[in-house]
Structures are given as structure tokens and as C-alpha cells.
Amino acid sequence: MAAHHHHEHEGASLAHAAESALIAAGEQWTDMRSDIFAVLATFEKPASAYDIADQVSQRRGKRVAPNSVYRILDLFVATNLARRVESANAYIANSHPGCLHDCIFLICDSCGTATHIDDDTLTMHVRAAAELAGFAEVRPVIEVRGICADCG
């Protein structure tokens, strides 16, 4: 597997890396964006916008609409702060937001855990095949479903 090295962030380091990456992308790090990212980073499994909205609502003491959360999550995905698990319509914080690469998820059908792996050679081949077929702005998202080692 051809992988590249990157620094995995967590806790305050992850929040700071996310804030820096968002500002570098020309966006503002607002209180709402900070709250949504903080909540997203607490989930060990991919979380829906509804799960995140519920948690942010509790933090803020007022209801936060899932549509507002979706818009911010879309921004986070576009700026590499979060990854979207397409088949589950759920999101997971990117533990290395300064490192841009394609997604490969291993998703457990039993417990719902999504493990993100890097294989630049594989995704390079997927990109090349898509471009050969006439696709532009290719963004591979590969999801492999099965049973994880803990559940197996």
C-alpha cells in the first residue's frame, strides 16, 4: 500500500489545525463552526447532521437546525476538515486537515466503525481511469463494507 506520512491531531491540537486550515482556505472560524467541529470530533463513528445538531443544541442551550449543520459540514468537507461517508450520509472529523488526499473507508456493517486508510497509488489509478473516461475534477471516495476485526 503506497501511503504518505501525515501528523494525526487530536483534542486541542485537532481544533487548532482545523481552525488554521479553514482560515487558510479564506473562510472564517465562527463560534458555530467551532462548536460543530468540536462536537464532530467527539464522535468515534461517523455521525449524521442530526446527531451533531442535537449535541450542538445541548451545548448552546438552543435548537440548532440540521440544515445549518449540513451547510457547515459541506464547508468542512470542501476544506478538508471532515470526511463524508457517502453510504451512511454521515461525517467524521479529519484528523489531519492540512493533508489533502483521497478517501478510502473501511466500514463495519456490524458496529458502524469507519476506518480511514490512505493508498495514494490506488486512488491515483481511480483518478486516471475517471479522467480517461472524460471526467473532470475527480474526487475519489472509496468505501469498502464488511466486518471489522473486533466484530469478526
Whole-number Å distance between alpha carbons of 151 and 43: 19
Of 2 and 24, the structure prediction assigns the larger pLDDT to 24
pLDDT (0 to 100) of residue 100:
66
- Name the least confident of 64-68, 70-74, 113-117: 113-117
The helix (H) or strand (E) run that includes residue 17 is helix 11-24
3-state secondary structure of 109: coil
3-state secondary structure of 128: helix
Q: What is the DSSP letter of 47?
A: B
| Average pLDDT of span 77-97 | 88
State pTM to two decimals: 0.81
Reported as a pLDDT band with limits 50, 70 and 90, residue 12 is low
Whole-number Å distance between alpha carbons of 23 and 20: 5
Task: Give the residue among 68, 135, 140, 97 at the shortest CA–CA distance from 9.
Answer: 97
Reported as a pLDDT band with limits 50, 70 and 90, residue 98 is low
| CB-CB neighbours of 104 under 10 Å | 20
Reported as a pLDDT band with limits 50, 70 and 90, residue 102 is confident
